């Protein structure tokens, strides 16, 4: 440990504020003043929130600075690094990162245990924080004992569906076949969600280690990580992590001197939301158009190339090494009765602090938006929140204090991918509805008629209403058509359209009715 450590957040969000070049300038300054023995400059993942400037943390003082120009950075170097005087005008108040007064924020980092702490591109830093120790332990256990641990933890799929992870592992383990696969679903496409990106870029080894653990448990020697094609940065970082793991003998043949061999390859996607569906992802990996398959047979029996396949989301995997090291009991201490552990939420839209936060299951929208998020941006009024992504429900502010977990859909709150979209009173319900349906229309793969044609009809309907040429009966049709599409579609995409549309209709029926009453033009912000 050197006398001073400076951590720059250089995840994909921070990069856009220029964080990497600032980190480089700081590194150059340290070198120029011959302070390399005293000061470490490290690029790490997110601290959780994003501002307009470049954010970095300085140890041992444990303070955060936010700077907007190179001169600001140089000033901090001259004052703080050289003279030890804290430059208070650039300080980020801890309240911005820690909860606001009056709200208790129980941030618990299981998935993000290393994000913002280690240099994700340095495998030794991961190892130093007990990295690959879980894999080492597991290789001395019986396969079924590992699976029992995951089952006992109560971990459920974090991609949105919430299937019990341990059960999935057991089913794949019990499938009789010489060849099996482990897949990591990193085709993160749910609008407003960037947790998987941050995990892949902030702690890639946690996913690689978990996949190897899964491979051992179910009896697979091959793993694939299917990453969204647009996630250039994630692909690069995960590839480096895989290469390093191979070099250290943590992937490849006879890992830790055991009989277990496991290898992982990355495959990029090419821009299709439906591929986030597990069977569509398998089609895509096989080099085909990504259209979902009929289930059953389930992937645990008949998956990639017809072989038994275990497929889990990035966040699900990232929980696994922690569970192995700390035990299922420790994991079960967090969360609610039916939803154990934590959830990584991405807080976006009209909120003061946008960013990522990991909270125990069962936290509330108020904790997220007013605790971590610092409230609605620009002093405006909260109109609604969309939970769980674009394929999730809209809720009004009266639901801010209800718990969020896999069961909360009974209250109309979907957990989904953990995206929390804050929408202020400047937005019209009709515009939001049109945007949501446009997304469905664009992403429909065309395989089944209800989704392909229904979403188009729904869009035309909403477009008419927004232009003031809708009829009163059109309003009712929003609800019935959404339900029809949802009831008769082939896969999760079409099936989920009732979540955003019916909740919008139920919450804002009056606003829609106004539009057909007024018959005025230009009622929509959209062109």
Q: Give the residues lining the site for other proteins (CB under 8 A).
A: 12-13, 15-17, 49-50, 52, 188-194, 196-197, 222, 224, 228-232, 265, 267-273, 284-290, 304-305, 346, 348-350, 354-356, 386, 390, 419, 421-424, 427, 431-432, 435-436, 438-439, 442-443, 445, 525-527
Which residue in 280, 143, 127, 155 sits closest to 214, CA to CA? Answer: 143
State which residue, 42 or 437, has the beta carbon closest to other proteins.
Answer: 437
Q: How far is the CB of 36 from other proteins (least distance, A)?
A: 30
State which residue, 329 or 446, has the beta carbon closest to other proteins.
Answer: 446
- Quick check: 46 and 356 in contact, CB under 8 A? yes
State which residue, 229 or 492, has the beta carbon closest to other proteins.
Answer: 229
Q: How far is the CB of 49 from other proteins (least distance, A)?
A: 8
Given the DSSP bridges, would you call strands 382-387 and 394-395 parallel, antiparallel or unpaired?
antiparallel
State which residue, 146 or 304, has the beta carbon closest to other proteins.
Answer: 304
Q: How far is the CB of 286 from other proteins (least distance, A)?
A: 5
The contacts found for 330-336 with CB under 8 angstroms, 24 or more apart, are 331/110, 331/153, 331/154, 331/155, 332/152, 332/153, 332/154, 334/108, 334/110, 334/360, 334/361, 335/154, 335/360, 335/361, 335/362, 335/405, 336/361, 336/362, 336/403, 336/405, 336/407
Cα separation, 440 vs 454, whole angstroms? 10
The burial of 515, by beta-carbon neighbours within 10 Å (0-12 exposed, 13-18 middle, 19 or more buried), is given as buried
Q: How far is the CB of 372 from other proteins (least distance, A)?
A: 12
Given the DSSP bridges, would you call strands 222-227 and 181-186 parallel, antiparallel or unpaired?
parallel
Q: How far is the CB of 209 from other proteins (least distance, A)?
A: 20
Phi-psi region of 374 (alpha: psi -120 to 50; beta: other; left: phi over 0): left
Q: How far is the CB of 289 from other proteins (least distance, A)?
A: 4
Cα separation, 216 vs 123, whole angstroms? 21
State which residue, 263 or 301, has the beta carbon closest to other proteins.
Answer: 263
Distance, CA of 128 to chain centre: 25
Total H helices, total E strands in the chain? 20, 14
State which residue, 8 or 322, has the beta carbon closest to other proteins.
Answer: 8
Cα separation, 112 vs 356, whole angstroms? 10
Q: How far is the CB of 107 from other proteins (least distance, A)?
A: 17
Q: How far is the CB of 70 from other proteins (least distance, A)?
A: 18
Cα separation, 485 vs 470, whole angstroms? 21
Question: How many C-beta atoms lie closer than 10 Å to residue 149's C-beta?
Answer: 22
Cα separation, 350 vs 348, whole angstroms? 7
Q: How far is the CB of 493 from other proteins (least distance, A)?
A: 12
State which residue, 442 or 519, has the beta carbon closest to other proteins.
Answer: 442
State which residue, 16 or 294, has the beta carbon closest to other proteins.
Answer: 16
State which residue, 165 or 193, has the beta carbon closest to other proteins.
Answer: 193
State which residue, 306 or 327, has the beta carbon closest to other proteins.
Answer: 306
Q: How far is the CB of 116 from other proteins (least distance, A)?
A: 14
Q: Could you give the dihedral angle defined by the CA atoms of residues 190, 502, 338 and 213, in that order, rounded to the nearest 10 degrees?
A: -20
Q: How far is the CB of 444 from other proteins (least distance, A)?
A: 12
What are the Cα distances from residue 255, in Å, to 140, 218, 261? 12, 16, 6
């Amino acid at each position: 440990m050197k006398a001073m450590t400076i951590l720059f957040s250089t995840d994909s969000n921070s990069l856009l504020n220029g964080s990497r070049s600032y980190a480089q300038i700081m590194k150059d300054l340290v070198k120029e003043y011959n302070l390399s023995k005293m000061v470490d400059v490290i690029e790490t993942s997110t601290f959780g929130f994003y501002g307009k400037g470049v954010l970095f943390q300085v140890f041992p003082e444990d303070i955060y600075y936010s700077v907007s120009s190179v001169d600001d950075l140089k000033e901090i170097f001259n004052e703080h690094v050289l003279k030890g005087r804290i430059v208070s005008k650039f300080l980020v108040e801890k309240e911005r990162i820690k909860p606001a007064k009056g709200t208790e924020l129980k941030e618990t980092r299981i998935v993000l245990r290393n994000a913002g702490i280690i240099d994700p591109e340095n495998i030794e830093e991961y190892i130093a924080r007990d990295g690959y120790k879980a894999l080492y332990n597991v290789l001395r256990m019986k396969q079924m004992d590992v699976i029992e641990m995951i089952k006992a933890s109560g971990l459920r799929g974090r991609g949105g569906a919430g299937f019990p992870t341990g059960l999935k592992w057991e089913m794949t383990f019990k499938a009789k076949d010489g060849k099996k696969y482990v897949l990591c679903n990193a085709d993160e496409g749910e609008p407003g969600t960037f947790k998987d990106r941050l995990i892949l870029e902030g702690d890639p080894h946690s996913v690689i280690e978990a996949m190897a653990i899964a491979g051992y448990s179910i009896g697979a020697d091959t793993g694939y990580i299917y990453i969204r094609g647009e996630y250039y940065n994630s692909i690069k970082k995960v590839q480096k992590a895989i290469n390093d793991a191979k070099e250290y003998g943590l992937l490849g043949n006879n890992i830790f001197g055991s009989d277990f061999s496991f290898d992982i390859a990355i495959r990029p996607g090419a821009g299709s939301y439906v591929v986030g569906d597990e069977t569509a992802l398998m089609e895509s990996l096989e080099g085909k158009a990504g259209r979902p398959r009929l289930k059953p047979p389930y992937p645990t029996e008949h998956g990639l190339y017809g072989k038994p396949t275990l497929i889990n989301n990035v966040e699900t995997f990232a929980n696994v090494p922690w569970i192995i090291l700390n035990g299922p009991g420790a994991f079960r201490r967090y969360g609610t009765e039916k939803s154990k552990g934590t959830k990584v939420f991405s807080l976006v839209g009209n909120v003061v602090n946008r960013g990522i936060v990991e909270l125990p299951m069962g936290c509330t929208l108020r904790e997220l938006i007013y605790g971590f998020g610092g409230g609605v941006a620009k002093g405006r009024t909260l109109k609604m929140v969309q939970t769980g992504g674009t394929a999730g429900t809209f809720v009004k502010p009266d639901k801010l204090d209800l718990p969020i977990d896999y069961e909360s859909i009974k209250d109309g709150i979907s957990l989904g991918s953990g995206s929390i979209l804050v929408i202020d009173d400047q937005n019209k319900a009709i515009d939001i509805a049109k945007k949501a349906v446009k997304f469905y229309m664009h992403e429909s793969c065309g395989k089944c008629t209800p989704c392909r044609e229904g979403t188009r009809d729904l869009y035309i309907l909403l477009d008419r209403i927004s232009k003031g040429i809708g009829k009163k009966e059109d309003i009712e049709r929003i609800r019935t058509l959404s339900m029809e599409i949802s009831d008769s579609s082939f896969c999760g995409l079409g099936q989920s359209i009732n979540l955003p549309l019916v909740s919008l209709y139920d919450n804002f029926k009056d606003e829609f009715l106004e539009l057909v009453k007024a018959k005025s033009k230009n009622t929509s912000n959209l062109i």
